[in-house]
Amino acid sequence: MLDSTTPTASDRPAPPSLRERKKAQTRAAIVAIGLDLCDTQGFDATTVEQIAAGADVSPRTVNRYFALKEDIVLAPIDDFGHAVAVALRGQPDTGNELRALCGAYLQVVESEADADGLRFLHQFLQTQRIMRASQAVNARALEYAEKKNVAVCEELARRMGTTPDDFLVKLVAGTWQTLCHLAVADTEHVLPTSPEAAVRVTREAILRAYHGLRQVCGAPADDTPGFAAPAAR
């Protein structure tokens, strides 16, 4: 008899169908063109018609994938947040949920770099620049932050044995969100030339912020393998 924990064929997710792959490709093209246009000519100056033309689809197709133009720009944040929530489920249960979030975040960064090279970092930085230049995108980003936190908070609550609206769950999620924002902003002057360099720069920035928070809180150094503090700059 098979052990109940042994994955079977029925446990594994079915590979995406041709239709699903085509939809994902269309969505990715819309996001890439939308980010390029909004980053170079400005969010307000970019129209849905321009994005549609660049992605070789109709404006109606763009609107079918994204309700608002702001959602196109924020798609990388949305996708990344959901991936982190999924990765968090596989992190060791040590009681240190900030470290677990750190591990999940770095896992997603590494997997994205393996799959897409520098694209993930390039698009993430594009989103950050557009957000700072557009009040409309920045306002919508606040809603996205709440949406992203829902998935993360649900997993944190499961790990912590409580509910997603528990204060401590929100405190951990909010602290991590702020830490990541500051870490990413601190790397914008760096232009990695390879996926490996992108992962290294991002990893060092995240770990520097994580250890910096521990330091100002008076917590002992975290020497867990894989989480060592980067060398001082």
How many CB atoms lie under 10 A from the CB of residue 231? 7
Give residues with Cβ within 8 angstroms of 42, minimum separation 6. Answer: 133, 134
- Report domain extents, the chain: 19-66, 70-218
N-term to C-term CA, the chain: 56
Specify the DSSP element, H or E, that contains 197: helix 195-216
Confirm whether pTM is higher than 0.85: no
Give residues with Cβ within 8 angstroms of 230, minimum separation 6. Answer: 203, 204, 207, 208, 211
C-alpha pair distances (Å), 179 with each of 13, 27, 128: 33, 29, 15
| Res 44: pLDDT | 96
| Res 208: pLDDT | 92
| Ranges of residues in the chain whose predicted pLDDT is under 50 | 1-12
Q: φ, ψ for residue 188 (rounded to 5)?
A: -65, -20
Read off the pLDDT of residues 162-194 as tens digits, 9 standing for 90 and up. 999 999 999 999 999 889 888 877 766 555 566
Read off the pLDDT of residues 101-131 as tens digits, 9 standing for 90 and up. 999 999 988 887 766 666 777 888 789 889 9
| Res 163: pLDDT | 97
Q: Which of 170, 145, 24 minimizes the C-alpha distance to 80?
A: 145
- Provide the token pair at 170: 């929100």
Architecture (CATH level 2) of domain 70-218: Orthogonal Bundle (1.10)
Angle made by CA atoms 225, 77, 147, in degrees to the nearest 5: 100
Q: Is 220 left (phi over 0), alpha (psi -120 to 50) or beta?
A: beta
**What is the identity of the amino acid at 44?**
D
Q: Which of 142, 164, 141, 136 minimizes the C-alpha distance to 151?
A: 164
CATH number of 19-66: 1.10.10.60
- Cβ atoms of 29 and 56 within 8 Å: the answer is yes
The CA distance from 156 to 181, in Å, is 19
Scanning the structure block, which residue is given the tokens 């001082």?
232
